[in-house]
Amino acid sequence: MNLKLDRMPARSPLPIAALPYVMSFLIILRGSAIAAILASLLIPQVHAQTQAAMNVQARSEFVQADAELNRTYEALLTKLPDAEGKEKLKKAQPAWLAFRDAEAAFAADKVRAGSMAPTLRYETMTELTRQRIKQLETGLTE
């Protein structure tokens, strides 16, 4: 077999079909530095390259965080033992959502409607949403 080492192809992403096997292997190695290294080498990372793609990616991450927030909110609402606590949460959540949205609009205003504004807005909303999830989760563990 005639191999030309100077013409070796660049590392190609792992085929999607192989990901379950890789993930199983990484689970076995959980918590080890080897698992982290293998994950970084084998699993392709998705990084947006254009501003439009960054906007789409930021929105996608927000949609995921918002869905998790809704699940956490509903779980806490179900767990609260009395009607008074449920009413207080029902009153607090829309106020918090208004704060989050206003804070995100303020962050996006820093670029005055430039192409980066949606990314800043969604990143701020995602970060604040993740913080709110942690706040609500403390109510689930009490």
Tell me how far apart the alpha carbons of residues 17 and 123 are, in angstroms, rounded to a whole number: 31
- Residue 32's pLDDT is 58
- So what's the pLDDT on residue 5? 41
Evaluate whether 129 touches 58 at the Cβ level (below 8 Å). Answer: no
Give the model confidence (pLDDT) of 49-102 as tens digits.
788 888 999 999 999 999 999 999 999 999 999 999 999 999 999 999 999 999
**Which helix (H) or strand (E) element contains residue 120?**
helix 117-141
- What is the number of alpha carbons within 13 Å of residue 52 lying toward its C-beta? 0
Q: What is the pTM of this model?
A: 0.66
Distances in Å between the alpha carbon of 18 and those of 29, 40, 42, 50?
A: 17, 15, 10, 28
Spatial contact of 77 and 89, defined as CB atoms under 8 Å apart: yes
All structural domains of the chain, each given as residue ranges with its CATH number in brackets, are: 11-42 (no CATH), 51-141 (1.20.1270.180)
Structure tokens at 8: 């070796």
